[in-house]
Structure 1
Amino acid sequence: MKKLFVLKAFVIAFIALLGLSLTSCNDDKYEPIPVKIGDENGKYRAKLITKQGNNRTEKIIDFVAKDSVITYKEFPVKEIVMTVLEDEAKTNVALDAMGDIEYKLDFTPKLLAEQNVIELELEPKVMTLQIPVDGQTKTAVVTFTANEKGYYVGQDFSMRYGFVADKITVDGADLTPFEKIEYSFPYSLKY
């Protein structure tokens, strides 16, 4: 009888303690850390989605944002080279010979304090590639455009943006037909 009483008292105390621990305070409010220009600077690990027609690839890449410039030490150019050469074996040989391609993407930051984000006006530069093929070198000039703005989000310290390779010129002549190559960075985390 005494054991039953102790067990009941223990269960009642446990339920009361559980009930108290689940109640929240009325003054629990999320106060975001306000962003400021310069918060977008840093090292990022990004998910890159590349689309060209029905082909889609995903990979993880790193980049650095500093002083209104995003710098990729290893920009993925496989789709560009494949478009120029139209042969996978030659593309792989050319990519090995070319090594890592650095690309710099300029942007202008604008603070949107009411949304706690920094808007990024992207200003893509032209990329020039020297593509070795069959003992010769083809010069490819890639023109990028950014039709949408990017954002640095203060809530999770992430950057989101995208741009498009919408024209390639090979040895002075426009590459036709050409299907645009979309580079989308839907989620890039600062580390």
Structure 2
Amino acid sequence: MKKFTVPKIFMAVLVVLAGLTLFSCLDNDSPEIPPVKLEDLKGNYKGRLITVQGNSRTEKIVDFKVKKDTISFAEFPIKEIVKSVVKDPAKAETALNAIGKVKYDLQYTATVNTANNVIELVFTPKVLEFKIPVDGVNKNTTVVLTAKQKGFFVGMDHSLRYALAAEKITVDGVILDPFETINYNFPLCIKN
């Protein structure tokens, strides 16, 4: 009967463990993430909107639709705009109720960034126009919206992230002054 010494048993165990370790490295258990395509962007979204104006910050959930080259809002958030124009809180609420829903379409161009598996969106916002009824008079209001950074559709989780800002408001041809910029941040939007 042969006697195995401790070093020979230790070497045998070490060789078996090394073999198993190398074998497990060959087995790729991570899921395959498909590359993002421009068609992935289209659909109905629900997302978190963080609105910041000066020291005021509000959050709510909004719905919008993404088409080939447009993000369409059936109800664009105008509360802060109206409250910037109408300083009396009671009159502002009355005006908001009278205005109802304001539609807005945000134009964009999209390109696929294959290295990061994202779709980059460059926005070309148009002016938002609507009327604010105050004391029996409709005030023609135009809002200059800007997008200073790209938006991103992330292929990993199919989420959309972007931001807008209302930088200037004109009421009946007069620029609203003083006015503090209203920032609309959409940090996480998911398809319905």
TM-score above 0.5, yes or no: yes
Question: Which structure 2 segments of 5+ residues have no match?
Answer: 1-23
Give the corresponding residue for 1:47.
48
Q: CA deviation at 1:24?
A: 9.6
Shift of 1:114: 1.1
Distance 1:184 1:24 in 2: 42
Question: Could you tell me how far 1:30 is from its partner in structure 2?
Answer: 3.1
- What secondary structure does 2:97 align onto? helix
Corresponding position of 1:112: 113
Measured after TM superposition, the shift of residue 27 of structure 1 is 1.8
CA distance in 2: counterparts of 1:175 and 1:88, whole angstroms:
17
Paired residue secondary structure (2:36): coil
Report the AA paired with residue 150 of structure 2: K
1:20 maps to what in 2?
none
Partner of 1:36: 37
What code does the residue aligned with 2:140 have?
T
SS in 2 for 1:38: helix
Q: Which residue of 1 aligns with 2:80?
A: 79
CA distance in 1 between partners of 2:32 and 2:89 (Å): 52
Counterpart amino acid of 1:156?
D
> After the TM superposition, which parts of structure 1 deviate over 4 Å for at least 4 consecutive aligned residues?
none
Q: Which whole-Å CA distance do the structure 2 matches of 1:27 and 1:130 have between them?
A: 60
Aligned length: 169
- The answer for the alignment partner of 2:19 in structure 1 is none
Give matches, 1:14-163, under 5 Å.
Answer: 26-163=27-164
Q: What are structure 1's unaligned runs of at least 5 residues?
A: 1-22
Distance 1:24 1:89, change over 3 A: farther
Of all paired residues, the percent bearing the same amino acid is: 49
Structure 1 CA distance for aligned equivalents of residues 30 and 53 of structure 2: 45
SS of the residue corresponding to residue 83 of structure 2 reads: helix
Q: Which entry has the higher C-alpha Rg, 1 or 2? A: 2
Alpha carbon RMSD of aligned pairs, Å? 1.3
